[in-house]
A and B are shown apart, each in its own frame.
Chain A
Amino acid sequence: MTQTLQKVDHSALKTNQIIIISLNILAFILNLPILAAFVALMMGIGSALKIPGFGFVYKNLLKPRGWMKPDILDDNPEPHRFSQILGFVFMSAGSIALFLGASTLGWGLVWLVVALAALNAFGGFCVGCAVYYWLVRLNLPGFTKEPPAGTFPGMKPRVGASR
Chain B
Amino acid sequence: MSAEILLRFGLAIVIIGLGVFAYWLINQRLLVRASNNVFTLFKKLPNKPVLIYFTTPDCVPCKTVQRPAIDRILNLLGEKLQVIEIDATEHPDLAKTWGVMSVPTTFLLDARGEARFVNNGVARAEKLLEQIQTL
Residues in chain A within 8 A of chain B (CB atoms):
25, 28-31, 69-73, 111, 115, 118, 122-125, 150, 152, 155-156, 158-161
Contacts and interface: CB of A to CB of B under 8 A. Distances in A.
B4 A31 contact: yes
A29 B1 CA distance: 11
A47 B129 CA distance: 42
A62 to B, nearest CB: 13
Question: Closest 4 interchain pairs by CB?
Answer: A159-B56, A160-B89, A124-B102, A159-B58
Contacts of B45: none
A125 B11 CA distance: 25
B57 interface: yes
B60 A69 contact: yes
Nearest to A158: B88
Contacts of A69: 60-61, 64-65
Chain B interface main SS type? helix
25 contacts: A28-B12, A29-B8, A30-B5, A31-B4, A69-B64, A69-B65, A72-B58, A111-B15, A122-B23, A122-B121, A123-B26, A123-B120, A124-B102, A124-B120, A152-B101, A155-B101, A155-B102, A156-B101, A158-B102, A158-B103, A159-B57, A159-B58, A159-B89, A160-B89, A161-B89
Contacts of A29: 5, 8-9, 12
A25 B56 contact: no
A150 B91 CA distance: 11
A26 to B, nearest CB: 9
Contacts of B103: 158-159
Nearest to A161: B89
Interface string B37-67: 0000000000000000000111111001100
A22 to B, nearest CB: 11
Contact of A156 (B19, B61, B92, B102): B102
A155 B65 CA distance: 23
A115 B19 CA distance: 8
A69 to B, nearest CB: 5
Nearest to A156: B102
A159 B60 CA distance: 10
B56 A70 contact: no
Contacts of B26: 123
Given A115-B19, A150-B92, A158 B120 contact: no
B95 interface: yes
A156 B12 CA distance: 27
Given A28-B12, A123-B26, A123-B120, A160 B58 contact: yes
A71 B88 contact: no
A123 B89 CA distance: 20
Given A158-B95, A159-B58, A160-B57, A124 B89 contact: no
